[in-house]
Amino acid sequence: MHGPDGRDYPNKSVFTDIVKPRHLCYSHGWDTKTDTGEMFLATWTFEEQGGKTLVTGRMVFPSVAERDRVVKEFGAIEGGKQHLGRLAEHLAKKPVFELVLERVIDAPRARVFEAWTKPDQMSQWFAPKPFKLIINTMNFRLGGGFSMAMRGPDGKDFPFTGIYREIVPPAKLSWTGEFTSGPADQVSTVVTLEEQGQKTQVHVRQTFRVMTPEIERATKGANQGWMMTLDQLAAFCSKEKLS
């Protein structure tokens, strides 16, 4: 914690249990110099309430005296209220850029989902012409990472990396990603697939939380690029020849 007086207050936490998206637990409060001095055990739970989320935090201290000291010296109760308030404000902010597209593809949902999950297939359609998708690594699993690049006709690469955040075969997948010049997880992409008989409705939502010069350049052609990419996905899944 960096105070207004310029003083730093070191903290160290160790995650002890994570059940996405229901709860997370961690032990907190070591002295970072001696690696001793546990202050409390924290448990945060997240409960769905009709499109909203009830967040509950519980901190267990070694003693009543230690709990009272933290409340008095560090203003823990007021601090906790401010943390939750800022979390709510952060999540309520509109993204600096948002893109939403839908497309009905003449192919079964399982076939369309497969096209997103295998490197040898994804590299054939996921890039608006004349760009080509270069897949360096693609660890398609929950929490797995990827490293890819869009290669232009002049041979120049535009690299990006990311992590798969949700995979629900064959209905949904999402990932966060970043360009090399920006902060981590600056781009979020969610793809949902809905059955329509033997066809599939693809819904894509991509949001940018941070705007950098590189992202600004990318967003200018994002809508057209995604439309071309979905055209190519439709052709690939229905085994039509790409023009």
Query: What is the chain's pLDDT, residue by residue, as a tens digit (243 residues)?
Result: 788 888 887 888 889 999 988 999 999 876 556 555 558 899 999 998 877 899 999 999 989 998 898 888 888 889 889 999 888 887 777 778 889 999 999 999 999 999 999 999 999 999 999 999 999 999 999 999 999 999 999 999 999 999 999 999 999 999 999 888 777 888 899 999 999 999 999 999 999 877 777 777 777 888 999 999 999 999 999 874 344
pLDDT of residue 30: 61
Domains of the chain listed by start with CATH number: 13-92 (3.30.530.20), 97-237 (3.30.530.20)
Q: By C-alpha distance, which of 115, 152, 118 is closest to 135? A: 118
Q: Does residue 66 sit in helix, strand or coil?
A: helix
What is the C-alpha to C-alpha distance for residues 147 and 161, in angstroms, rounded to an integer?
4
Closest CA to 164 of 211, 225, 117: 117
- What integer pLDDT is reported at residue 126 of this predicted model? 96
Q: Which residues pair with 103 in a beta bridge?
A: 202
